[in-house]
């Protein structure tokens, strides 16, 4: 079912702060479609978990409304809301078996015993934990507990499935496996899902849409592609992946072809621009490291079709990672330029002190509004 | 201020979403006010009653002018201080010998130190009369001394040290056990001698525990009533007994109340000092295996000395219980030591009503106290509501307030309408329930604080209301705390005397009060038989609860210990 957050502000009493309160979420508006998977992404303290807990009903908004499936549930307690949550710590009941844990929600709903057993069996089958039915929680591994928590949430067929950083306690390999698993399960049951994480790769893997938050405010909502390639501002660009930014002045804004000039007068082209970028004003030119090619500056090797020079400089640092090589290039700017090249076995790689030119395709360049603060 | 109110309003708004929870909060807070605070306020009010409907400090003036009562005040403080220091010293040496020096018979010493805790608090006094009194086994039968001066300071001091050193032992045993022996190993490794390690590492680390034990023993000794009633005698007045005598002997309620206030004030001061000390101490959570060390931390000579010391303490404690057991079967203690079952015939015949009453009262009060303790622990740790601190503070008060003061408070507060309860079963039950919740609350709080709140949130999220969450999730998880609350409430309800002595009636009497009466009338054999039966009942009940807990543990496969 759809979820609607209308004008939500959440304040907590905090005598140590100015005004005696902490504003955890401010003027938050979001509409989630039926069956959609939306992730709230942001650094810790950005208000994402508070937002999730307001949907579940554990927190009540100071101002604003929560709607689930066309019904205003703002004043309903958590047990009256048709949401199921997967907790960061899994919150498996330690005194119940796996089977009892999974069946607890259905039992509370007063379903007949036979039906509960059937549903529980079925969901444990789907989650691949059927053989753990009679285990005690302390006999489970982290990954198994995670699956039990997920099964316990899904078996109720809730209107909304809520995930509070569910993978943060797993090791890296299991985490990648579970991301895919969560996405698969959600697609199978088509349950509207809200997912909280601070891990951008996780957010990119599971989500239909990502909401980036900072200091209680929404920074951008969009598909993983939009968030990564067309960020709305510097915070989003920085938070999701690494980025190269140049200060520029906007000369001309045109569909798919925006012309800007660098501080030294060089001309750049960018295919897209965020709102807030205006002709004649300042802007930031953004190119991700993997979109920069590192080429020899010696001789006059002609640029490939449509590629433009981004900067010239000297390789300052080389980090060889096997699949990729990462370079830091001193191009005379305050911060070094980052570039990543793939497949070093075939492409070869540069060494420290080599003089290089960095080229980009305007398709991969994006303009951000200048920093206001 | 304004934001405090808005916070309270927000918490109320949230609580109102759950009417059951709101009802429980109101019920708990209301009953704490009526059954804990109101009696104390009644004592204060009564002490200011100078007659003729006027209030003033006249009664206090009379009390302070009385040289005898001044002496009682001084004696009480002196006895409490001495007992606190000596009891803690013995408790520390005992705990050190058992946990660190690992003397032979450690297990036996451990059990021996715990027995006095589950016994009626005046059993020491009873045994001392039997051993050193006018017809005492040692003084009269062995040494042929008549009228040995056991009444007064000597006897009382001995009785109170024996009664309270186990409290220090248990406190310090916990402290020493939680201390990582690797620290001592490290000090030895750095070249410290064993004595240096003890004085520079062990003792400083244990110091907060030692100080806390001294304060705790002071409060408990000051509140002690049974031992001084039997042993203090008229030449060595003690405050708690004087308050009782003013009321029961002289029917002078205002004076009894004023003495109670004088008793209450130092108790509260030392109690809160102890709390502050305990709260300042950082808690280290025990995870994984306890640290093991194979190093001998004391020299062989010191070990032998500690062992001899433990043997001596064990001998004294053993002698006390030996005399109770023998006394229960001896025809006339001190004169005719032929074995007989006469005393038990009396206990199970004429005197059986008190046994029945006691069992019934303890049996009813215990589950209520246990459950109330868990509910309060849950409210205090998990639920945000205005007045949470108040509920927590008041519920812990009964730890600090001497039983005598509470007993006087109850007869003052509940002898008129709308709550005319004197002489009823209810007044005894209410007193026991509200007096014996703190241990359950404390262990419940500690356990709850270590349990991730999202486990309960998960239950609510799955559709459980607050009642279901508490009964299906919270309570099963804090079962160990619930059981320790039950044990404490039962032991105390069975062995209590200081408050109960004001509240018993011909309709409802208690074994402990009966024992005191038998001692006073010189019928030591019957008193010993009653005491023995009492200790056996308590021991049986504790074993029963232990077994129940063990079966629960195995059912949970030890899971509860990890969460």
DSSP track, B501-562 = HHH--SSS--HHHHHHHHHHTT-HHHHHHHHHHHHHHHHHHHHHHHHHHHHHHHHTTTHHHH
Q: Does B339 touch chain A (CB under 8 A)?
A: no
Average pLDDT for B494-522: 87
Out of A58, A76, A156, closest to residue B457 by CB: A58
Q: Which residues of A touch B558 (CB under 8 A)?
A: 138
Please report, rounded to a whole number, the percentage of residues in chain B having pLDDT higher than 70: 91
Task: Supply the DSSP symbol for B119.
Answer: S
**Rounded Cα distance, A355 and A336, in Å:** 14
Residue B558: its pLDDT value, please? Answer: 39
- 3-state secondary structure string, B32-87? HHHHHHHHHHHHHHHHCECCCCCECCHHHHHHHHCHHHHHHHHHHHHHHHHHHHHH
Paired strand residues for A244:
A287
B179 falls within a domain = yes
Q: Do A94 and B7 touch (CB under 8 A)?
A: no
B223 falls within a domain = yes
Closest residue in B to A92 (Cα–Cα): B455
Out of A13, A91, A109, closest to residue B454 by CB: A91
Judged against a pLDDT cut of 60, whether residue A308 lies above it is answered with yes
B55 pLDDT tier (thresholds 50, 70, 90): confident
Q: Do A77 and B18 touch (CB under 8 A)?
A: yes
Domain ranges of chain A: 3-234, 242-368
**Of A279, A284, A275, which is closest to residue A247 (Cα–Cα)?**
A284
Out of A79, A83, A138, closest to residue B464 by CB: A79
Residue A112: its pLDDT value, please? Answer: 92
B291 pLDDT tier (thresholds 50, 70, 90): low
Residue A169: its pLDDT value, please? Answer: 81
Q: Do B461 and A85 touch (CB under 8 A)?
A: yes
B208 pLDDT tier (thresholds 50, 70, 90): confident
Q: In this structure, what are the phi and psi dihedrals at residue A279, rounded to the nearest 5 degrees?
A: -60, 135
* Pairing of β A63-68 and β A282-287: unpaired
B167 falls within a domain = yes
Q: Do A95 and B476 touch (CB under 8 A)?
A: yes
Out of B463, B560, B562, closest to residue A109 by CB: B463
Residue B520: its pLDDT value, please? Answer: 85
User: What distance, in Å, lies between the first and last C-alpha atoms of chain B?
Assistant: 39
Is B406 exposed, middle or buried, given 0-12, 13-18 or 19+ CB atoms closer than 10 A? Answer: buried
B174 to A241, B210, B393, B526: CA distances (angstroms): 51, 11, 25, 37
Residue B562: its pLDDT value, please? Answer: 31
- Alpha carbon B472 to its chain centroid, in Å, reads 31
How far is the alpha carbon of B547 from chain A, nearest alpha carbon, in Å? 18
pLDDT in tens, A332-373: 888 899 999 988 888 778 888 888 889 899 899 999 998 764
What tokens appear for B95 in the block? 């705990």
Judged against a pLDDT cut of 50, whether residue B283 lies above it is answered with no
Q: For chain A, what is the largest distance between any 2 Cα atoms, rounded to a whole number of angstroms?
A: 81
B10 pLDDT tier (thresholds 50, 70, 90): low
Average pLDDT for A235-263: 89
Q: Do A87 and B563 touch (CB under 8 A)?
A: no
Judged against a pLDDT cut of 80, whether residue B15 lies above it is answered with no
Q: Does B12 touch chain A (CB under 8 A)?
A: no
Our count of domains for chain B comes to 1
Cα dihedral: B277, B280, B285, B289 (round 10): -50
**Of A350, A205, A370, which is closest to residue A281 (Cα–Cα)?**
A370
How far is the alpha carbon of A7 from chain B, nearest alpha carbon, in Å? 19
Q: Do A136 and B462 touch (CB under 8 A)?
A: no
What tokens appear for A33 in the block? 């479609």
Residue B53: its pLDDT value, please? Answer: 76
Average pLDDT for A119-146: 88
Residue B561: its pLDDT value, please? Answer: 35
Closest residue in A to B556 (Cα–Cα): A95
Judged against a pLDDT cut of 80, whether residue B556 lies above it is answered with no
B370 falls within a domain = no
Cα dihedral: A54, A55, A61, A64 (round 10): 160
Helix, coil or strand: residue A353: coil
N residues, chain A: 373
B539 falls within a domain = no
Helix, coil or strand: residue A12: strand
A230 pLDDT tier (thresholds 50, 70, 90): very high
How far is the alpha carbon of B469 from chain A, nearest alpha carbon, in Å? 10
Which of A11-15, A223-227, B149-153, B442-446 has the largest mean confidence? A223-227
Closest residue in B to A97 (Cα–Cα): B556
Residue B315: its pLDDT value, please? Answer: 92
How far is the alpha carbon of B462 from chain A, nearest alpha carbon, in Å? 5
Judged against a pLDDT cut of 80, whether residue A205 lies above it is answered with yes
B406 falls within a domain = no
A53 pLDDT tier (thresholds 50, 70, 90): very high
Residue B5: its pLDDT value, please? Answer: 64
Average pLDDT for B391-417: 88
Residue B37: its pLDDT value, please? Answer: 92
B376 falls within a domain = no
**Which site among B461, B466, B551 would you substitute to test the A interface, given the most A Cβ atoms closer than 10 Å to its Cβ?**
B461
* Cβ–Cβ < 8 Å for B73, B63: no
* Pairing of β A258-262 and β A324-330: unpaired
Average pLDDT for A155-184: 89
How far is the alpha carbon of B550 from chain A, nearest alpha carbon, in Å? 14
Closest residue in B to A22 (Cα–Cα): B3
Average pLDDT for A146-159: 90
* Cβ–Cβ < 8 Å for B194, B188: yes
What tokens appear for A195 in the block? 């997912």
Please tell me the least confidently modeled range out of B130-144, B236-250, B254-268, B435-449. B130-144
A3-234 under CATH 3.40.640.10, yes or no: no
Closest residue in A to B554 (Cα–Cα): A95
Please report, rounded to a whole number, the percentage of residues in chain B having pLDDT higher than 90: 27
Residue B559: its pLDDT value, please? Answer: 37
CATH of domain A242-368: 2.40.50.100
Please tell me the least confidently modeled range out of A26-35, A146-155, B278-287. B278-287
**Rounded Cα distance, B299 and B104, in Å:** 14
The CATH number covering residue B335 comes to 1.10.3720.10
Whether residue B418 is preceded by a cis peptide bond, meaning omega within 30 degrees of 0, is yes
Whole domain around residue B199: which residue ranges? 66-237+301-339
Q: Do B559 and A95 touch (CB under 8 A)?
A: yes
Sign of dihedral through CA atoms B43, B47, B52, B54?
negative
Q: Which residues of A touch B557 (CB under 8 A)?
A: 136, 138-139
Q: Do B557 and A56 touch (CB under 8 A)?
A: no
Q: Which residues of B touch A108 (CB under 8 A)?
A: 462-464, 468
Q: What is the mean pLDDT of chain B?
A: 84
Q: Which residues of A touch B476 (CB under 8 A)?
A: 95
Residue B292: its pLDDT value, please? Answer: 57
- Number of Cβ within a 10 Å radius of residue A319: 10
Q: Does B475 touch chain A (CB under 8 A)?
A: no
Q: Do B458 and A85 touch (CB under 8 A)?
A: yes
Closest residue in A to B453 (Cα–Cα): A91
Out of B3, B13, B477, closest to residue A95 by CB: B477
pLDDT in tens, A177-200: 889 989 988 888 899 999 999 999
Q: Do domains A3-234 and A242-368 have the same CATH topology?
A: no
How far is the alpha carbon of A139 from chain B, nearest alpha carbon, in Å? 9
CB pairs under 8 A between A and B: 92
Q: Could you tell me which residues come within 8 angstroms of residue A158 by beta carbon, excluding any fewer than 6 positions away?
A: A82, A83, A84, A191
User: What distance, in Å, lies between the first and last C-alpha atoms of chain A?
Assistant: 39
């Amino acid at each position: 079912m759809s979820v609607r957050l209308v004008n939500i502000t959440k304040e907590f009493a905090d005598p140590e702060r100015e005004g005696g309160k902490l504003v955890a979420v401010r003027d938050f508006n979001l509409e989630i479609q039926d069956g959609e998977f939306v992730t709230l992404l942001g650094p810790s303290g950005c208000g994402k978990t508070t937002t999730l807990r307001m949907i579940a009903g554990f927190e009540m908004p100071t101002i604003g409304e929560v709607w689930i499936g066309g019904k205003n549930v703002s004043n309903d307690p958590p047990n009256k809301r048709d949401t199921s949550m997967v907790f960061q710590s899994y919150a498996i009941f330690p005194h119940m078996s796996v089977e009892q844990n999974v069946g607890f929600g259905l039992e509370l709903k007063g379903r007949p015993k036979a039906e509960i057993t059937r549903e529980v069996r079925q969901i444990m089958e789907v989650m691949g934990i059927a053989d753990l039915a009679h285990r005690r929680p302390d006999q489970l591994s982290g990954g198994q507990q995670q699956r039990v928590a997920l099964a316990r949430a899904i078996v109720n067929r809730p209107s909304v499935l809520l995930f509070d950083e569910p993978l943060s306690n797993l090791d890296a390999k299991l985490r990648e496996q579970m991301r895919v698993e969560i996405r698969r399960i959600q697609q199978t049951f088509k349950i509207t899902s809200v997912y909280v994480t601070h891990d951008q790769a996780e957010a990119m893997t599971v989500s239909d849409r990502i909401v980036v938050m900072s200091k209680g405010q929404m920074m951008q909502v969009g598909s993983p592609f939009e968030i990564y390639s067309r960020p709305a501002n510097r915070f989003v660009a920085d938070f999701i992946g690494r980025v190269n930014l140049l200060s520029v002045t906007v000369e001309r804004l045109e569909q798919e072809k925006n012309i800007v000039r660098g501080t030294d007068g060089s001309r750049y082209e960018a295919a897209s621009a965020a709102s807030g970028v205006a002709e004649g004003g300042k802007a930031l030119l953004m190119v991700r490291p993997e979109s920069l090619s590192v080429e020899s500056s010696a001789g006059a090797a002609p640029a490939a079709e449509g590629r433009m020079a981004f900067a010239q400089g000297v390789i300052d640092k080389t980090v060889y990672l096997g699949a990729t090589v990462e370079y830091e290039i001193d191009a005379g700017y305050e911060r070094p330029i980052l570039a990543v090249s793939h497949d070093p076995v075939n492409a070869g790689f540069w060494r420290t002190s080599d003089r290089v030119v960095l080229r980009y395709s305007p398709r991969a360049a994006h303009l951000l509004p200048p920093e206001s603060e | 201020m304004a934001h405090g109110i808005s916070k309270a309003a927000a918490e109320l708004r949230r609580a109102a979403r759950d009417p059951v929870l709101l009802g429980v909060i109101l019920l708990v807070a209301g009953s704490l006010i009526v059954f804990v605070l109101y009696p104390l306020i009644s004592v204060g009010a009564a002490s200011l009653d100078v007659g003729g409907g006027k209030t003033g400090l006249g009664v206090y003036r009379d009390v302070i002018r009385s040289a005898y009562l001044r002496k009682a005040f001084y004696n009480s403080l002196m006895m409490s201080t001495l007992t606190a220091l000596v009891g803690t010293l013995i408790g520390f040496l005992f705990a050190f010998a058992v946990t660190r020096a690992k003397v032979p018979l450690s297990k036996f010493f451990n059990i021996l130190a715990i027995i006095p805790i589950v016994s009626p608090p005046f059993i020491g006094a009873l045994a001392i009369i039997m051993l050193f009194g006018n017809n005492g086994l040692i003084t009269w039968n062995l040494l042929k001394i008549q009228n040995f001066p056991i009444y007064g300071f000597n006897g009382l001091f001995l009785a109170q040290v024996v009664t309270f050193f186990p409290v220090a032992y248990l406190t310090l045993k916990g402290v020493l056990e939680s201390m990582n022996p690797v620290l001592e190993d490290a000090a030895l490794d750095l070249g410290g001698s064993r004595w240096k390690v003890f004085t520079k590492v062990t003792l400083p680390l244990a110091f907060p525990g030692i100080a806390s034990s001294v304060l705790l023993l002071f409060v408990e000794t000051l509140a002690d009533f049974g031992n001084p009633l039997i042993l203090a005698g008229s030449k060595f007045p003690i405050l708690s007994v004087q308050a009782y005598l003013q009321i029961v002997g002289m029917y002078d309620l205002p004076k009894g109340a004023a003495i109670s206030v004088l008793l209450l004030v130092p108790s509260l001061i030392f109690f809160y000092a102890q709390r502050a000390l305990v709260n300042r101490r950082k808690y280290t959570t025990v995870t994984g295996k306890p640290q093991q060390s194979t190093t001998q931390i004391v020299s062989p000579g010191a070990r032998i000395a500690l062992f001899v010391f433990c043997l001596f303490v064990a001998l004294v404690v053993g002698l006390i219980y030996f005399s109770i057991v023998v006394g229960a079967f001896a025809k006339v203690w001190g004169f005719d030591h032929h074995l007989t079952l006469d005393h038990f015939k009396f206990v199970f015949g004429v005197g059986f009503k008190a046994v029945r009453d006691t069992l019934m009262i303890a049996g009813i009060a215990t589950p209520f106290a246990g459950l109330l303790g868990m509910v309060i622990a849950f409210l205090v740790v998990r639920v945000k509501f205005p007045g949470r601190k108040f509920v927590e503070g008041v519920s812990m008060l009964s730890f600090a307030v001497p039983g005598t003061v509470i007993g006087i408070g109850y007869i003052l507060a509940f002898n008129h309408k709308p709550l005319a309860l004197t002489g009823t079963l209810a007044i005894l039950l209410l007193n026991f329930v509200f007096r014996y919740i703190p241990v359950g609350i404390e262990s419940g709080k500690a356990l709850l604080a270590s349990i991730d709140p999202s486990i309960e949130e998960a239950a609510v999220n799955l559709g459980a209301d607050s009642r279901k969450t508490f009964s299906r999730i919270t309570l099963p998880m804090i079962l160990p705390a619930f059981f320790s609350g039950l044990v404490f409430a039962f032991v105390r309800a069975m062995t209590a005397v200081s408050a109960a002595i004001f509240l018993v009636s011909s309709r409802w009497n208690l074994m402990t009060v009966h024992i005191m009466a038998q001692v006073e009338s010189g019928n030591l054999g019957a008193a010993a038989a009653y005491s023995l039966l009492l200790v056996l009942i308590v021991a049986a009940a504790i074993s029963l609860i232990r077994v129940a807990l063990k079966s629960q543990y195995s059912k949970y496969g030890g899971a509860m210990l990890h969460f």
